[in-house]
Chain A
Amino acid sequence: MTDKRTPAERVAQLRLDERNAARRRNLLVVAAVVAVIAVLVAVGLVVQGKRDNTGAPASMTPTGVTADYGVVVGKKDAAHTVVIYEDFQCPICNEFEKVTSAKVQAAIKAGDITVEYRMVSFLDRVSKNAYSSRAANAALAVLHVAGPSAFQKFHTTLFENQPEEGTAGPENSTLIDDAVKAGADRGKVSKLINEGAYDDWVTNATDAMSQHGVSGTPTAFIDGKVAGKNPADTIEALLKLIG
């Protein structure tokens, strides 16, 4: 069989073959590198999964909490139920507490409302010494040792002592002193605070907030309905309720 192609066509064919060969080789290199990266990412995925213990049963659960990771303060037959999501390191929660706290406590005492505090912790990243999670743990320790009214007292203190973002908050020794002032037994509460006994529980509480579709703090629900679109509205709605 004779080759009827012109010399120019033969050169063109040669170049095309060369190009295809180079392209095949490049594709192999790309596939090999992609495979190596995929293996590394897969290993990383396993490691990240192991490091995230969200959802695993908490090692310890404080007494007196609800199934929704809340702490109920007030009488059972009160006319209205208020649910409040807060982080002890959240500045606007602190504003919220400053404006509403006294009236809320009075309304609880009068039997007008019960409040379910759902304390969460996602703001350790703006604290130099993990105030967000340590404060939440300490508050639950006080609840466990001394009950809801001591919890509420301590809750107020923790907000009063909230550190500025990016700074260090009170150390555990200070938290223990304040817990004792709120009515907790020193021996019992100091162990729970120093051990971070409820850290897992707080992690799960924070995840539960996210699963409930609550994306920020402070968020409040009055009788099951979201109170206000932003913190200012929330304060207004709550003050209107207990005015």
Chain B
Amino acid sequence: MSSWIGLVARLVVGTVWVVAGALKLPDPAATVRAVRAYQLLPEAIVPTVGHLLPLVEVALGLCLLAGLLTRVAGTVSTLLLLAFVVGIAAAWARGLQIECGCFGGGGAAALDADPTAAYPWDIARDLALAAASAWLVVRPRTRLALDSLLLAPLPQPERPAR
């Protein structure tokens, strides 16, 4: 049963990563501006992070969809999502008015009456995805996964008879 839940978690989180990364890939400059808008990282590394992020997202998403290195991918996914939550919460707390840039764009918003209205939703979504990712860290053996072809199952150690 848990291996089926794992499959669903992989497909949901994996799809979100692939879509989020693919939407950012065509416009690297926009992703750099989105990263800069959070005002958390030193300017020296902002362009590299902006260029790297969509690639990592797509790679992560493909690994999850294929069930490749599920535990590693689940760990990276959980950490990255928690980092995003911290970023959005920090922007919110400092009163920054930015678009999260989660699915492309960002860094600059066509402002409306309350640009901060989206923050709670962004945070809730990322927390839910982080929970699904964490499940895969705890239960990395899932259905229809490349891992089951690549990785040998570990035999359970025999408990000494008493």
Contacts and interface: CB of A to CB of B under 8 A. Distances in A.
Interface of A: 8-9, 11-12, 15-16, 18-19, 22-23, 25-26, 29-30, 33-34, 37, 40-41, 44-45, 48-49, 51-52, 54, 87, 89-93, 120, 122-123, 125, 203, 206-207, 209-211, 213-219, 229-232
6 contacts: A19-B157, A22-B152, A26-B154, A213-B39, A215-B97, A215-B98
A17 to B, nearest CB: 10
A15 B157 contact: yes
A16 B159 CA distance: 10
Contacts of A207: 29, 32-33
A182 B48 CA distance: 42
Contacts of B105: 122, 125
B107 interface: yes
Contact of B52 (A11, A45, A210, A213): A45
A22 B156 CA distance: 11
B28 A51 contact: yes
* From A16, A122, A229, residue with most partner B Cβ within 10 Å: A122
A231 to B, nearest CB: 5
A52 B47 contact: yes
Given A122-B105, A206-B33, A215-B98, 8 more contacts: A26-B151, A30-B151, A48-B52, A51-B28, A90-B110, A210-B32, A217-B111, A230-B114
B160 A33 contact: no
B110 A87 contact: yes
Nearest to B110: A90
B51 A52 contact: yes
B36 A216 contact: no
A93 B160 CA distance: 75
Interface of B: 25, 27-30, 32-33, 36-37, 39, 43, 47-48, 51-52, 54-56, 59, 63, 68-69, 72, 96-99, 104-105, 107-115, 150-161
B107 A41 contact: no
Contacts of A45: 48, 51-52, 55
Contacts of A15: 155-158
A128 to B, nearest CB: 15
B160 A206 contact: no
Given A207-B29, A210-B33, A232 B113 contact: yes
B113 A231 contact: yes
By Cβ-Cβ distance, the 7 closest A-B pairs, closest first, are A52-B28, A90-B110, A48-B51, A210-B33, A216-B109, A216-B111, A44-B55
Contact of B56 (A22, A33, A34, A41): A41
A61 to B, nearest CB: 19
A41 B152 contact: no
Contacts of A210: 32-33, 36-37, 107-108
Contacts of B36: 210-211
